[in-house]
Structure 1
Amino acid sequence: MRIEDASHPQVSLHLGDSLEKYGEWPTPTAIVSDGPYGLAKFPGEPNGVESLAEWYAPHIAEWSKKASADTTLWFWCSELAWAEVHQVLKLHGWKYRAAHIWDKGIGHVAGNCNGDTIRGFPVVTEICVQYVREVQLRDYDGKPCSIKEWLRSEWQRSGLPLYKTNEACGVKNAATRKYFTQCDLWYFPPPEKMEMLAKYANANGLDTDRPYFSLDGKTHLTARKWERMRAKWNHVHGITNVWQEPAVRGKERIIRKGMQSLHANQKPLRLMERIIGASTDPGDVVWEPFGGLCSATVASLRMGRQCYASELIPEYFDAASERINAIYQELPLYERKRNS
């Protein structure tokens, strides 16, 4: 008997449409979207990219409702499919950060390419596009503004001269030059410097009925609160936006009876671990709304994240459940107890 909602202490897996679950899932630190490419591979998927924007629109709207300033979206797709969906993402406040190219290598088409009929170079790539939230705040008068504009307006409201921002941060001139400039050289203030700025303005600025640099208009700003005002990023040197990784083979590949691949486009765990590690920390929440074989969820579980996934096709759901069960049993006993 199939259970339509399978769960472990770190994982919640739903059989059905993710639109049914977004309202119940907690705010994500990362969303890994590996949905339709316009190839009609699963029930309800458009056959062609022309209607993809319409298909994704309700999902993107729900992501935007639940996401926070520190949420990163990883959008897997083909180049043309991404081009169709980008404007919908932009409309809902998602800001393009970078496009990452998955190069599967010549082995992906070796022996399976007819040079007389292909009429173009063989395609061995997919893309994974990184988006973050376009954060808007409100100034003292209630007018929407960017973080850059808000910083300047809050300091001006304090009545303090601009050069005092350097004294507040304990630097020679970096605060005025980087954190309060309005040009393209603007730099997001580090959390500890932002807390220093807020304390200085509140101690030395004009009397006010609203704390300076308060995000909610009531409470004082802390480094921890400010840190969550942009997407997380855990940098690893030596990794670029071109990912040379062969398509999944060997033990990692999920096979049907008869030695046929269960899922034609199973993503490598290595790539899923890369994006999850870059944009989340242990204990953070990861969404995988179009689970397939739930490679992002498996990677998240192995890395100590909380995972929320959904899958429409029962056969994929069953295989994903088996993968998750196997990974969970491999976790050290002390870690399973800790997460229980």
Structure 2
Amino acid sequence: MPTRAEDFEYIRSSVSEHLAASTPDAMLIAGDSLERLQSFPDNSVSLILTDPPYHSTKKSNIQGDTSFQEDEEFLDWMEKYAAEWKRVLRRSGTLYVYCSAQMSARLEVMMSKYFRPLNHITWTKPNEPGYDGWKGKMKKESLRNWYPHSERILMFEHGSYGSWEAYRRSPIGEYLLNCRKQSGLSMVLLTEMIGAYGKVNRGGAVANWEAGRNTPSREQYEKLVLALEGTGNVEKMLDYNDLIRPMNVNKNVEFTDVWNFMSVRPFKGKHPAEKPQDMLMHAITASSYPGDIVLDCFGGSGSTGVAAVRLGRRAICIELDETWIARSAAEISAAKFNEDFDAPKRIHHMTKTEDLPIDGLFD
């Protein structure tokens, strides 16, 4: 399997004529992202964090938001992305898709044909008075449904749901099962060799890993590799980062499926759908490893790319609207990895541009 650096440079060379900005750790690709994705190699992106047009909001100042007359047209268009995302996302990858509450259920059902749904996250946007959009201005007595003061973020991984046997369709479980069969070791013997005993069944933790119910730690996986490769029947196994989907959360950061991050405050040149850096960095920190490739197919002002670079990841943003390509190019080109920035401890307390640890960047 190619390294992340090799995949990144391959993508750079394949889209070189469409690059609007390029640095050692980031690139901005101009054009239709569905077309540009076709140049990406299979299994090359570790995290897709993207904010497509919501369709239901019908904002004329957001490219593509008014392009579809019927919901089915929008869903058909998004399904084309789902197929491409499934192709380019690494086995250990994660996909986040921002969407409106009105379209989230139908998007999740459609995308479940390609991915295993993990979470239906609610972003509550707890803004201060004066920065809450129409919420404080509108006539409440005229409402015929609850005011939509939240957005949704759908989270997926490779695999699917189903019967007990279907759990083995998870990338981790299927891979470990195949490796053990090649080794000739029984589940019980492998369990004894690595000392991962279970409280209920003789297969211990190995049974749960192969069924896709949970995953081995890095230390446990190293023991698995030594045992399985040691039989001489198994070729060099995948690196832990290429197999196990990261999920880095703890009690000191937001770990529930309700996210409380303030919206980006208005400023000259703000993108109408711009997402706050603290929320983007929260997702990137939780769902990627350092050096991973982070992809945003609807780059907007480049916020996702900036957040990824600041956290020591490689960023790829694709943007169609020429209005935003110039700002995005400037933002991504100026972004730098901050070695002193402790993301898990600090990003959850930042809500304003002036709070950010890197000067000169919009949030």
Asked if TM exceeds 0.5, the reply is yes
Structure 1 partner of 2:32? 17
**Aligned CA distance change for structure 1 residues 307 and 115 (closer, same or farther; 3 Å):** same
**Aligned CA distance change for structure 1 residues 172 and 305 (closer, same or farther; 3 Å):** closer
Q: Letter of the aligned partner of 1:8 in structure 2? A: T
d(CA) in 2 for partners of 1:314 and 1:182? 47
Kindly indicate whether the alpha-carbon contact (under 8 Å) linking 2:27 and 2:316 is maintained by their aligned counterparts in 1: yes
Q: Letter of the aligned partner of 2:118 in structure 1? A: R
d(CA) in 2 for partners of 1:323 and 1:120? 39
What's the offset of the Cα at 1:289?
0.3
Q: Letter of the aligned partner of 2:159 in structure 1? A: E
Structure 1 residue 255 corresponds to structure 2 residue 268:
yes
Q: Letter of the aligned partner of 1:318 in structure 2? A: A
Structure 1 partner of 2:125? 104
Structure 1 partner of 2:320? 312
Q: Letter of the aligned partner of 2:215 in structure 1? A: F
**Aligned CA distance change for structure 1 residues 181 and 306 (closer, same or farther; 3 Å):** closer
Kindly indicate whether the alpha-carbon contact (under 8 Å) linking 2:291 and 2:313 is maintained by their aligned counterparts in 1: yes
**Aligned CA distance change for structure 1 residues 326 and 156 (closer, same or farther; 3 Å):** closer
1:1-340 map, 5 Å: 5-25=20-40, 27-38=44-55, 39-40=57-58, 41-43=62-64, 45-47=67-69, 49-92=71-114, 94-105=115-126, 107=129, 108=132, 109-134=134-159, 145-146=169-170, 147-148=172-173, 151=176, 155=180, 160=185, 162-173=187-198, 176-181=203-208, 186-200=213-227, 211=233, 214=234, 219-221=235-237, 225-237=239-251, 238-239=253-254, 240-249=256-265, 253-256=266-269, 262-328=270-336
What's the offset of the Cα at 1:87?
3.1
- SS of 1:22's equivalent in the other structure is helix
d(CA) in 1 for partners of 2:107 and 2:24? 34
Kindly indicate whether the alpha-carbon contact (under 8 Å) linking 2:197 and 2:205 is maintained by their aligned counterparts in 1: no
d(CA) in 2 for partners of 1:70 and 1:183? 15
Q: Letter of the aligned partner of 1:11 in structure 2? A: A
- CA deviation string 1:130-159 (max 9, x = no partner): 1111189xxxxxxx9555466457646766
Kindly indicate whether the alpha-carbon contact (under 8 Å) linking 2:173 and 2:212 is maintained by their aligned counterparts in 1: no
**Aligned CA distance change for structure 1 residues 124 and 197 (closer, same or farther; 3 Å):** same
How high is the TM-score relative to the length of structure 1? 0.76
**Aligned CA distance change for structure 1 residues 202 and 263 (closer, same or farther; 3 Å):** closer
Q: Letter of the aligned partner of 2:121 in structure 1? A: H
- CA deviation string 1:180-219 (max 9, x = no partner): 1599894323344344345445656xxxxx82xx4xxxx1
Q: Letter of the aligned partner of 2:250 in structure 1? A: V
Kindly indicate whether the alpha-carbon contact (under 8 Å) linking 2:174 and 2:210 is maintained by their aligned counterparts in 1: no
What's the offset of the Cα at 1:265?
1.9
d(CA) in 2 for partners of 1:153 and 1:266? 44
- CA deviation string 1:27-78 (max 9, x = no partner): 1111012001114432473245332211112222111111111111011001
Q: Letter of the aligned partner of 1:121 in structure 2? A: W
What's the offset of the Cα at 1:161?
5.1
The 10-residue stretch of structure 1 (150-159 or 96-105) with the greater mean CA deviation from structure 2: 150-159
Structure 1 partner of 2:348? none
d(CA) in 1 for partners of 2:83 and 2:174? 26
| Structure of greater Rg | 1
For structure 2, which runs of at least 5 residues remain unmatched after alignment?
A: 1-17, 162-167, 340-363
**Aligned CA distance change for structure 1 residues 198 and 283 (closer, same or farther; 3 Å):** closer
More helix by share: 2
- CA deviation string 1:280-312 (max 9, x = no partner): 122211101001112111111221211111111
**Aligned CA distance change for structure 1 residues 230 and 254 (closer, same or farther; 3 Å):** farther
**Aligned CA distance change for structure 1 residues 150 and 63 (closer, same or farther; 3 Å):** closer
How high is the TM-score relative to the length of structure 2? 0.72
For structure 1, which runs of at least 5 residues remain unmatched after alignment?
A: 137-143, 205-209, 257-261, 333-340
- SS of 2:97's equivalent in the other structure is strand
Structure 2 partner of 1:207? none
Kindly indicate whether the alpha-carbon contact (under 8 Å) linking 1:36 and 1:45 is maintained by their aligned counterparts in 2: no
The 10-residue stretch of structure 1 (310-319 or 172-181) with the greater mean CA deviation from structure 2: 172-181
- CA deviation string 1:64-118 (max 9, x = no partner): 11111111101100122222222332222x1111122111126424432212322
d(CA) in 2 for partners of 1:160 and 1:319? 57
- SS of 1:134's equivalent in the other structure is coil
- SS of 1:235's equivalent in the other structure is coil
Kindly indicate whether the alpha-carbon contact (under 8 Å) linking 1:49 and 1:84 is maintained by their aligned counterparts in 2: no
**Paired residues, what number?**
300
Q: Letter of the aligned partner of 1:75 in structure 2? A: V
